[in-house]
Protein backbone atom coordinates (compact mmCIF):
# COMPACT_ATOMS: atom_id res chain seq x y z
CA UNK A 1 0.00 0.00 0.00
CA UNK A 2 1.56 3.30 -1.07
CA UNK A 3 1.06 6.59 0.76
CA UNK A 4 0.98 10.32 0.06
CA UNK A 5 2.50 12.73 2.56
CA UNK A 6 1.08 16.21 2.05
CA UNK A 7 2.19 19.44 3.65
CA UNK A 8 -0.94 21.56 3.47
CA UNK A 9 -1.46 25.29 3.17
CA UNK A 10 0.54 25.99 0.00
CA UNK A 11 -1.02 27.85 -2.89
CA UNK A 12 -1.07 26.34 -6.35
CA UNK A 13 -0.49 28.31 -9.51
CA UNK A 14 -0.04 27.63 -13.20
CA UNK A 15 -1.61 25.54 -15.91
CA UNK A 16 -2.99 22.03 -15.89
CA UNK A 17 -3.66 19.88 -18.93
CA UNK A 18 -6.43 17.43 -18.09
CA UNK A 19 -5.84 13.74 -18.76
CA UNK A 20 -7.95 11.72 -21.18
CA UNK A 21 -11.19 10.49 -19.65
CA UNK A 22 -10.99 7.24 -17.68
CA UNK A 23 -14.59 6.24 -18.29
CA UNK A 24 -14.42 6.91 -22.03
CA UNK A 25 -11.11 5.07 -22.31
CA UNK A 26 -12.62 1.97 -20.69
CA UNK A 27 -15.47 1.95 -23.23
CA UNK A 28 -13.55 2.63 -26.41
CA UNK A 29 -10.71 0.25 -25.55
CA UNK A 30 -13.27 -2.57 -25.19
CA UNK A 31 -14.67 -1.64 -28.63
CA UNK A 32 -11.41 -2.70 -30.32
CA UNK A 33 -12.61 -6.29 -29.84
CA UNK A 34 -15.31 -5.70 -32.46
CA UNK A 35 -12.99 -5.78 -35.49
CA UNK A 36 -10.00 -7.65 -36.85
CA UNK A 37 -8.66 -4.38 -38.26
CA UNK A 38 -6.27 -1.99 -36.58
CA UNK A 39 -7.64 0.75 -34.32
CA UNK A 40 -5.64 3.74 -33.13
CA UNK A 41 -6.72 5.51 -29.94
CA UNK A 42 -5.07 8.68 -28.64
CA UNK A 43 -5.23 10.62 -25.37
CA UNK A 44 -5.37 7.37 -23.38
CA UNK A 45 -4.76 8.21 -19.71
CA UNK A 46 -1.88 6.41 -18.00
CA UNK A 47 -3.87 5.26 -14.95
CA UNK A 48 -4.21 1.93 -13.13
CA UNK A 49 -7.69 0.95 -14.34
CA UNK A 50 -6.95 1.66 -18.00
CA UNK A 51 -3.58 -0.10 -17.82
CA UNK A 52 -5.28 -3.14 -16.25
CA UNK A 53 -7.82 -3.26 -19.06
CA UNK A 54 -5.06 -3.00 -21.67
CA UNK A 55 -3.27 -5.85 -19.87
CA UNK A 56 -6.44 -8.01 -20.02
CA UNK A 57 -6.80 -7.33 -23.75
CA UNK A 58 -3.16 -8.32 -24.21
CA UNK A 59 -3.86 -11.63 -22.43
CA UNK A 60 -6.82 -12.09 -24.75
CA UNK A 61 -4.42 -11.94 -27.67
CA UNK A 62 -5.04 -8.36 -28.86
CA UNK A 63 -1.88 -7.01 -30.52
CA UNK A 64 -1.11 -3.76 -28.72
CA UNK A 65 1.50 -1.20 -29.66
CA UNK A 66 2.29 2.03 -27.88
CA UNK A 67 2.82 4.59 -30.66
CA UNK A 68 3.75 7.39 -28.27
CA UNK A 69 2.99 8.56 -24.71
CA UNK A 70 -0.79 8.46 -24.96
CA UNK A 71 -1.50 6.71 -28.28
CA UNK A 72 -1.88 2.99 -28.82
CA UNK A 73 -2.85 0.75 -31.71
CA UNK A 74 -4.93 -2.36 -31.08
CA UNK A 75 -5.57 -5.25 -33.44
CA UNK A 76 -7.90 -8.09 -32.47
CA UNK A 77 -7.28 -10.39 -35.43
CA UNK A 78 -6.19 -13.53 -33.59
CA UNK A 79 -7.71 -13.81 -30.12
CA UNK A 80 -7.03 -16.38 -27.43
CA UNK A 81 -10.60 -16.93 -26.18
CA UNK A 82 -9.41 -19.79 -23.91
CA UNK A 83 -8.09 -17.11 -21.56
CA UNK A 84 -11.73 -16.26 -20.75
CA UNK A 85 -12.10 -19.65 -19.09
CA UNK A 86 -8.85 -19.48 -17.11
CA UNK A 87 -8.36 -18.91 -13.38
CA UNK A 88 -6.08 -16.03 -14.31
CA UNK A 89 -8.96 -14.23 -16.07
CA UNK A 90 -11.14 -14.65 -12.97
CA UNK A 91 -8.56 -12.65 -11.03
CA UNK A 92 -7.68 -10.12 -13.73
CA UNK A 93 -11.26 -9.42 -14.79
CA UNK A 94 -12.55 -8.86 -11.26
CA UNK A 95 -10.03 -6.14 -10.51
CA UNK A 96 -11.85 -3.29 -12.24
CA UNK A 97 -15.35 -2.18 -13.21
CA UNK A 98 -14.60 -1.37 -16.84
CA UNK A 99 -13.73 -4.98 -17.74
CA UNK A 100 -17.47 -5.74 -17.85
CA UNK A 101 -17.58 -3.98 -21.23
CA UNK A 102 -15.60 -6.72 -22.98
CA UNK A 103 -18.73 -8.92 -22.79
CA UNK A 104 -20.85 -7.08 -25.39
CA UNK A 105 -18.16 -6.99 -28.11
CA UNK A 106 -17.13 -10.63 -27.52
CA UNK A 107 -20.75 -11.76 -27.68
CA UNK A 108 -21.31 -9.82 -30.91
CA UNK A 109 -18.20 -11.08 -32.66
CA UNK A 110 -17.57 -14.56 -31.21
CA UNK A 111 -20.97 -15.58 -29.81
CA UNK A 112 -19.80 -15.77 -26.21
CA UNK A 113 -18.79 -13.41 -23.46
CA UNK A 114 -17.73 -14.27 -19.89
CA UNK A 115 -16.82 -12.08 -16.96
CA UNK A 116 -16.17 -12.47 -13.23
CA UNK A 117 -18.10 -10.03 -11.04
CA UNK A 118 -16.17 -6.85 -11.75
CA UNK A 119 -14.44 -4.74 -9.14
CA UNK A 120 -14.22 -0.98 -9.02
CA UNK A 121 -15.09 1.19 -6.10
CA UNK A 122 -16.73 -0.12 -2.97
CA UNK A 123 -19.42 2.53 -3.05
CA UNK A 124 -22.55 0.44 -2.60
CA UNK A 125 -24.35 -2.30 -4.51
CA UNK A 126 -23.52 -2.24 -8.21
CA UNK A 127 -25.77 -4.58 -10.06
CA UNK A 128 -25.35 -5.72 -13.65
CA UNK A 129 -28.98 -6.62 -14.44
CA UNK A 130 -29.32 -3.94 -17.13
CA UNK A 131 -26.36 -5.38 -19.05
CA UNK A 132 -27.56 -8.98 -19.00
CA UNK A 133 -31.24 -8.20 -19.54
CA UNK A 134 -30.14 -6.37 -22.70
CA UNK A 135 -28.06 -9.30 -23.96
CA UNK A 136 -30.94 -11.70 -23.25
CA UNK A 137 -33.32 -9.44 -25.21
CA UNK A 138 -30.91 -9.67 -28.16
CA UNK A 139 -31.24 -13.46 -28.01
CA UNK A 140 -28.36 -14.58 -25.77
CA UNK A 141 -28.63 -17.33 -23.19
CA UNK A 142 -27.41 -16.34 -19.75
CA UNK A 143 -25.90 -18.18 -16.82
CA UNK A 144 -24.52 -17.09 -13.50
CA UNK A 145 -22.34 -19.22 -11.27
CA UNK A 146 -23.14 -17.92 -7.78
CA UNK A 147 -20.24 -19.67 -6.05
CA UNK A 148 -17.65 -18.36 -8.44
CA UNK A 149 -19.53 -15.09 -9.09
CA UNK A 150 -18.99 -15.68 -12.78
CA UNK A 151 -21.34 -14.45 -15.52
CA UNK A 152 -21.67 -15.88 -19.04
CA UNK A 153 -23.70 -15.16 -22.18
CA UNK A 154 -23.77 -17.15 -25.39
CA UNK A 155 -25.62 -16.91 -28.72
CA UNK A 156 -25.24 -18.33 -32.22
CA UNK A 157 -26.42 -14.98 -33.48
CA UNK A 158 -28.05 -11.86 -32.05
CA UNK A 159 -31.29 -10.36 -33.37
CA UNK A 160 -32.22 -6.70 -33.21
CA UNK A 161 -35.14 -5.80 -30.97
CA UNK A 162 -36.77 -2.89 -29.09
CA UNK A 163 -35.77 -2.51 -25.49
CA UNK A 164 -36.50 -0.20 -22.60
CA UNK A 165 -33.64 -0.26 -20.10
CA UNK A 166 -34.63 -0.56 -16.43
CA UNK A 167 -32.14 2.22 -15.68
CA UNK A 168 -29.89 4.47 -17.73
CA UNK A 169 -26.76 2.51 -16.83
CA UNK A 170 -23.61 3.95 -18.40
CA UNK A 171 -21.57 0.76 -18.80
CA UNK A 172 -24.81 -1.18 -19.41
CA UNK A 173 -25.73 1.01 -22.38
CA UNK A 174 -22.18 0.82 -23.77
CA UNK A 175 -22.18 -2.97 -23.47
CA UNK A 176 -25.59 -3.40 -25.15
CA UNK A 177 -24.71 -0.96 -27.95
CA UNK A 178 -21.54 -2.91 -28.67
CA UNK A 179 -23.51 -6.17 -28.75
CA UNK A 180 -26.23 -4.71 -31.01
CA UNK A 181 -24.03 -3.12 -33.69
CA UNK A 182 -23.58 -6.49 -35.42
CA UNK A 183 -26.99 -8.02 -34.56
CA UNK A 184 -29.37 -8.95 -37.39
CA UNK A 185 -31.80 -6.12 -38.05
CA UNK A 186 -32.71 -3.06 -36.03
CA UNK A 187 -32.33 -2.50 -32.28
CA UNK A 188 -33.77 0.44 -30.40
CA UNK A 189 -32.55 1.20 -26.89
CA UNK A 190 -34.77 3.56 -24.90
CA UNK A 191 -33.71 5.02 -21.54
CA UNK A 192 -30.16 4.75 -22.81
CA UNK A 193 -27.42 6.61 -20.94
CA UNK A 194 -26.28 9.52 -23.09
CA UNK A 195 -23.26 11.11 -21.43
CA UNK A 196 -20.47 12.48 -23.65
CA UNK A 197 -18.35 9.34 -23.25
CA UNK A 198 -21.16 7.20 -24.59
CA UNK A 199 -21.60 9.64 -27.44
CA UNK A 200 -17.89 9.25 -28.13
CA UNK A 201 -18.23 5.46 -28.16
CA UNK A 202 -21.13 5.68 -30.63
CA UNK A 203 -19.18 8.10 -32.86
CA UNK A 204 -16.21 5.74 -32.84
CA UNK A 205 -18.43 2.76 -33.70
CA UNK A 206 -20.01 4.74 -36.54
CA UNK A 207 -16.58 5.53 -37.92
CA UNK A 208 -15.88 1.76 -37.81
CA UNK A 209 -18.97 1.26 -40.01
CA UNK A 210 -21.77 0.89 -37.45
CA UNK A 211 -25.14 2.56 -38.04
CA UNK A 212 -26.18 4.20 -34.80
CA UNK A 213 -28.56 7.15 -34.75
CA UNK A 214 -29.97 9.19 -31.88
CA UNK A 215 -26.47 9.70 -30.46
CA UNK A 216 -26.68 12.11 -27.52
CA UNK A 217 -30.32 11.28 -26.79
CA UNK A 218 -31.82 8.55 -24.61
CA UNK A 219 -33.18 6.69 -27.65
CA UNK A 220 -30.50 4.97 -29.70
CA UNK A 221 -31.46 3.20 -32.92
CA UNK A 222 -28.97 0.74 -34.33
CA UNK A 223 -29.13 -0.91 -37.76
CA UNK A 224 -27.03 -4.06 -37.47
CA UNK A 225 -24.12 -4.44 -39.92
CA UNK A 226 -22.16 -7.59 -40.78
CA UNK A 227 -18.67 -6.38 -40.15
CA UNK A 228 -16.80 -3.44 -38.64
CA UNK A 229 -13.45 -2.00 -39.69
CA UNK A 230 -10.60 0.01 -38.21
CA UNK A 231 -10.58 3.70 -37.25
CA UNK A 232 -8.74 6.43 -35.38
CA UNK A 233 -10.25 7.86 -32.24
CA UNK A 234 -9.29 10.58 -29.74
CA UNK A 235 -10.53 10.46 -26.14
CA UNK A 236 -12.08 13.59 -24.56
CA UNK A 237 -10.57 15.28 -21.51
CA UNK A 238 -11.74 13.81 -18.20
CA UNK A 239 -14.61 15.91 -16.81
CA UNK A 240 -14.26 14.42 -13.33
CA UNK A 241 -10.58 15.26 -13.26
CA UNK A 242 -11.40 18.80 -14.45
CA UNK A 243 -13.89 19.16 -11.59
CA UNK A 244 -11.26 17.88 -9.17
CA UNK A 245 -8.79 20.60 -10.28
CA UNK A 246 -11.49 23.26 -9.83
CA UNK A 247 -12.04 21.96 -6.29
CA UNK A 248 -8.32 22.01 -5.51
CA UNK A 249 -7.98 25.61 -6.70
CA UNK A 250 -10.92 26.80 -4.58
CA UNK A 251 -9.89 24.98 -1.40
CA UNK A 252 -6.29 26.23 -1.60
CA UNK A 253 -7.37 29.79 -2.57
CA UNK A 254 -5.30 29.45 -5.74
CA UNK A 255 -5.50 30.68 -9.29
CA UNK A 256 -5.07 28.03 -11.98
CA UNK A 257 -5.92 27.56 -15.65
CA UNK A 258 -7.21 24.21 -16.86
CA UNK A 259 -6.38 23.89 -20.56
CA UNK A 260 -8.54 22.52 -23.39
CA UNK A 261 -11.41 21.23 -21.28
CA UNK A 262 -13.90 20.64 -24.14
CA UNK A 263 -16.30 23.04 -22.42
CA UNK A 264 -19.30 21.97 -24.49
CA UNK A 265 -19.02 18.47 -23.03
CA UNK A 266 -18.97 19.60 -19.39
CA UNK A 267 -22.75 19.92 -19.03
CA UNK A 268 -23.77 21.22 -15.60
CA UNK A 269 -20.32 20.89 -14.03
CA UNK A 270 -19.20 24.57 -14.27
CA UNK A 271 -22.64 25.75 -13.12
CA UNK A 272 -22.65 23.53 -10.02
CA UNK A 273 -19.25 24.87 -8.91
CA UNK A 274 -20.58 28.40 -9.54
CA UNK A 275 -23.58 27.61 -7.31
CA UNK A 276 -21.25 27.02 -4.39
CA UNK A 277 -19.71 30.39 -5.12
CA UNK A 278 -16.60 29.47 -7.09
CA UNK A 279 -15.73 31.95 -9.82
CA UNK A 280 -14.61 30.41 -13.06
CA UNK A 281 -14.13 32.02 -16.42
CA UNK A 282 -14.35 30.44 -19.81
CA UNK A 283 -11.34 31.55 -21.87
CA UNK A 284 -11.62 29.93 -25.29
CA UNK A 285 -11.68 26.27 -24.37
CA UNK A 286 -9.80 26.78 -21.09
CA UNK A 287 -11.18 27.33 -17.61
CA UNK A 288 -9.53 30.07 -15.57
CA UNK A 289 -10.13 29.98 -11.81
CA UNK A 290 -9.10 33.23 -10.10
CA UNK A 291 -7.77 33.35 -6.54
CA UNK A 292 -10.72 33.69 -4.16
CA UNK A 293 -10.44 34.44 -0.44
CA UNK A 294 -14.05 33.43 0.07
CA UNK A 295 -16.83 31.77 -1.93
CA UNK A 296 -20.47 31.93 -0.95
CA UNK A 297 -23.02 29.17 -1.53
CA UNK A 298 -26.16 30.44 -3.28
CA UNK A 299 -29.55 29.59 -1.87
CA UNK A 300 -32.47 28.53 -4.04
CA UNK A 301 -34.62 31.41 -5.35
CA UNK A 302 -37.10 30.98 -2.49
CA UNK A 303 -34.29 31.30 0.06
CA UNK A 304 -34.17 27.62 0.99
CA UNK A 305 -30.85 25.81 1.40
CA UNK A 306 -29.18 24.65 -1.83
CA UNK A 307 -29.25 20.91 -2.57
CA UNK A 308 -26.73 19.38 -4.94
CA UNK A 309 -27.62 15.90 -6.11
CA UNK A 310 -26.58 13.50 -8.84
CA UNK A 311 -28.59 12.18 -11.79
CA UNK A 312 -27.89 10.35 -15.04
CA UNK A 313 -26.57 12.67 -17.77
CA UNK A 314 -27.42 15.47 -18.47
CA UNK A 315 -27.76 15.59 -14.69
CA UNK A 316 -24.76 16.15 -12.44
CA UNK A 317 -22.32 13.24 -12.32
CA UNK A 318 -22.21 11.30 -9.01
CA UNK A 319 -18.43 11.10 -9.41
CA UNK A 320 -18.05 14.79 -8.49
CA UNK A 321 -20.30 14.91 -5.43
CA UNK A 322 -17.55 13.94 -2.95
CA UNK A 323 -15.42 16.75 -4.39
CA UNK A 324 -18.27 19.29 -4.15
CA UNK A 325 -18.77 18.17 -0.54
CA UNK A 326 -15.18 18.76 0.50
CA UNK A 327 -15.03 22.14 -1.27
CA UNK A 328 -18.24 23.20 0.51
CA UNK A 329 -16.58 22.68 3.91
CA UNK A 330 -14.71 25.98 3.36
CA UNK A 331 -17.50 27.88 1.60
CA UNK A 332 -19.63 30.57 3.20
CA UNK A 333 -23.11 29.12 3.81
CA UNK A 334 -24.65 25.67 3.89
CA UNK A 335 -25.56 23.02 1.35
CA UNK A 336 -27.23 19.61 1.36
CA UNK A 337 -25.35 17.00 -0.67
CA UNK A 338 -27.66 14.21 -1.84
CA UNK A 339 -25.89 11.20 -3.38
CA UNK A 340 -28.84 9.37 -4.92
CA UNK A 341 -27.07 6.72 -6.97
CA UNK A 342 -24.60 5.12 -4.60
CA UNK A 343 -25.32 4.16 -1.02
CA UNK A 344 -21.86 4.02 0.58
CA UNK A 345 -20.08 6.92 -0.98
CA UNK A 346 -20.46 9.52 1.75
CA UNK A 347 -18.99 7.58 4.69
CA UNK A 348 -15.62 9.24 4.15
CA UNK A 349 -17.03 12.42 5.72
CA UNK A 350 -16.04 10.95 9.12
CA UNK A 351 -12.46 11.81 8.21
CA UNK A 352 -13.41 15.36 7.25
CA UNK A 353 -15.21 15.71 10.58
CA UNK A 354 -12.00 14.53 12.35
CA UNK A 355 -10.19 17.28 10.46
CA UNK A 356 -12.60 19.85 11.88
CA UNK A 357 -15.14 20.15 9.04
CA UNK A 358 -18.75 20.88 9.98
CA UNK A 359 -20.66 18.08 8.29
CA UNK A 360 -23.74 16.19 9.45
CA UNK A 361 -24.20 12.79 7.80
CA UNK A 362 -28.01 12.68 7.77
CA UNK A 363 -28.18 9.15 6.33
CA UNK A 364 -26.02 7.12 3.91
CA UNK A 365 -27.20 9.25 0.99
CA UNK A 366 -27.30 12.77 2.43
CA UNK A 367 -24.87 15.08 4.19
CA UNK A 368 -25.35 18.68 5.28
CA UNK A 369 -22.25 20.82 5.07
CA UNK A 370 -21.95 24.02 7.08
CA UNK A 371 -19.13 25.95 5.43
CA UNK A 372 -16.43 27.58 7.58
CA UNK A 373 -15.62 30.36 5.11
CA UNK A 374 -11.88 29.71 5.59
CA UNK A 375 -12.21 31.21 9.10
CA UNK A 376 -10.54 28.13 10.51
CA UNK A 377 -8.46 25.62 8.57
CA UNK A 378 -8.93 21.89 8.49
CA UNK A 379 -6.40 20.06 10.68
CA UNK A 380 -3.91 17.64 9.16
CA UNK A 381 -4.46 13.95 9.93
CA UNK A 382 -3.73 10.37 8.88
CA UNK A 383 -6.35 8.79 6.62
CA UNK A 384 -6.97 5.92 4.23
CA UNK A 385 -8.53 6.38 0.83
CA UNK A 386 -11.71 4.25 0.62
CA UNK A 387 -12.52 4.89 -3.06
CA UNK A 388 -11.22 6.93 -5.96
CA UNK A 389 -13.33 10.07 -5.48
CA UNK A 390 -13.26 10.04 -1.66
CA UNK A 391 -9.50 9.61 -2.06
CA UNK A 392 -9.09 12.71 -4.19
CA UNK A 393 -11.45 14.62 -1.87
CA UNK A 394 -9.28 13.72 1.14
CA UNK A 395 -6.26 14.83 -0.89
CA UNK A 396 -7.96 18.18 -1.57
CA UNK A 397 -8.73 18.50 2.17
CA UNK A 398 -5.08 17.71 3.00
CA UNK A 399 -3.77 20.31 0.51
CA UNK A 400 -5.81 22.98 2.30
CA UNK A 401 -5.16 21.75 5.85
CA UNK A 402 -2.76 23.09 8.45
CA UNK A 403 0.16 20.70 8.93
CA UNK A 404 1.24 17.45 7.33
CA UNK A 405 -1.34 14.79 6.42
CA UNK A 406 -0.82 11.20 5.35
CA UNK A 407 -3.13 9.34 2.98
CA UNK A 408 -2.77 5.55 2.76
CA UNK A 409 -4.09 3.27 0.02
CA UNK A 410 -3.44 5.81 -2.71
CA UNK A 411 -3.74 3.00 -5.28
CA UNK A 412 -7.41 4.01 -5.21
CA UNK A 413 -6.46 7.52 -6.39
CA UNK A 414 -4.03 6.10 -8.98
CA UNK A 415 -6.97 4.18 -10.50
CA UNK A 416 -8.20 7.39 -12.05
CA UNK A 417 -5.66 10.22 -11.69
CA UNK A 418 -2.54 10.21 -13.84
CA UNK A 419 0.71 11.14 -12.01
CA UNK A 420 -1.31 13.27 -9.64
CA UNK A 421 1.66 13.86 -7.31
CA UNK A 422 4.09 15.08 -9.97
CA UNK A 423 1.46 17.23 -11.64
CA UNK A 424 0.57 18.78 -8.28
CA UNK A 425 4.25 19.38 -7.47
CA UNK A 426 4.61 21.22 -10.80
CA UNK A 427 2.01 23.78 -9.70
CA UNK A 428 3.37 24.29 -6.20
CA UNK A 429 1.95 21.55 -3.96
CA UNK A 430 4.12 19.86 -1.36
CA UNK A 431 3.25 16.21 -1.84
CA UNK A 432 5.48 13.12 -1.66
CA UNK A 433 4.75 9.55 -2.66
CA UNK A 434 6.06 6.91 -0.26
CA UNK A 435 6.03 3.41 -1.78
Ligand X SMILES: C=C(OP(=O)(O)O)C(=O)O
Ligand Y SMILES: CC(=O)N[C@H]1[C@@H](OP(=O)(O)OP(=O)(O)OC[C@H]2O[C@@H](n3ccc(=O)[nH]c3=O)[C@H](O)[C@@H]2O)O[C@H](CO)[C@@H](O)[C@@H]1O
Active centre residues (catalytic):
121
Q: Which is nearer to ligand Y, 133 or 167 (CB)?
A: 167
CB of 77 to ligand X, least distance (A): 28
Q: Which one of ligand Y, ligand X, none is in contact with 170 (Cβ closer than 5 to 8 A by kind)?
A: ligand Y
The reply to whether 282 sits in an annotated binding site is: no
Question: Does the annotation place 319 within a ligand binding site?
Answer: yes
CA distance 176 to 207: 18
Angle CA 121–126–128, to nearest 5: 130
Site residues (vs ligand Y, CB under 6 A): 23, 26, 97-98, 126, 167-172, 312, 317-319, 341-342
Is 262 or 404 the residue whose CB approaches ligand Y more closely? 262
Q: Which residues bind ligand X (CB under 6 A)?
A: 49, 97-98, 120-121, 123, 319, 388-389, 416
Partner from ligand Y, ligand X, none contacting 424, C-beta within 5 to 8 A by type = none
SS3 of residue 335 by DSSP: strand
Q: Which residue is nearest to ligand X (CB)?
A: 120
Pick 121 or 265: Cβ nearer ligand X? 121
Determine if residue 191 is labeled as part of a ligand binding site.
Answer: no
By beta-carbon proximity to ligand X, the closer residue of 95 and 330 is 95
Beta strand 38-42 with 71-75: parallel, antiparallel or unpaired?
Answer: antiparallel
- Shortest distance, position 130 Cβ to ligand Y, whole Å: 6
Q: How far is the CB of 342 from ligand Y (least distance, A)?
A: 6
**Is position 97 annotated in a ligand binding site?**
yes
Is 125 a known ligand-binding residue? Answer: no
Q: Shortest distance, CB of residue 355 to ligand Y, whole angstroms?
A: 25
CB atoms within 10 A of CB 179: 30
d(C-alpha 50, C-alpha 390), whole Å: 19
Which contacts (CB < 8 Å, 24+ apart) does range 299-308 have?
A: 299/333, 305/334, 305/335, 305/336, 305/368, 306/275, 306/276, 306/333, 306/334, 306/335, 306/336, 307/335, 307/336, 307/337, 307/338, 308/272, 308/275, 308/276, 308/335, 308/336, 308/337, 308/338
For the sheet with 141-145, list strands across it: 112-116, 150-154, 141-145
- Binding site residues for UDP-N-acetyl-alpha-D-glucosamine, as ranges? 97, 319, 341
- Binding site residues for phosphoenolpyruvate, as ranges? 22-23
Amino acid sequence: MATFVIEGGHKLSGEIIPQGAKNEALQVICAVLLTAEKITISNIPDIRDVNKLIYILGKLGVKIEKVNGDTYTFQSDDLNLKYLESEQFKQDGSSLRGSIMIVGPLLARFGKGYIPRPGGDKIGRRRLDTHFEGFIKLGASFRYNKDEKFYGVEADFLTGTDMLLDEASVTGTANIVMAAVMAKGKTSIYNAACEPYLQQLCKMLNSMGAKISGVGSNLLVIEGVEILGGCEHRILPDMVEIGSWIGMAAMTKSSITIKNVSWNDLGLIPRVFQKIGIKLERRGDDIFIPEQKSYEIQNFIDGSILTISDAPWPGFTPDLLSIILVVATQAKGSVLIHQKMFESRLFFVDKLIDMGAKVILCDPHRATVIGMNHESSLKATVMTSPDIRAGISLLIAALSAKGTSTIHNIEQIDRGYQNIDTRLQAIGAKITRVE
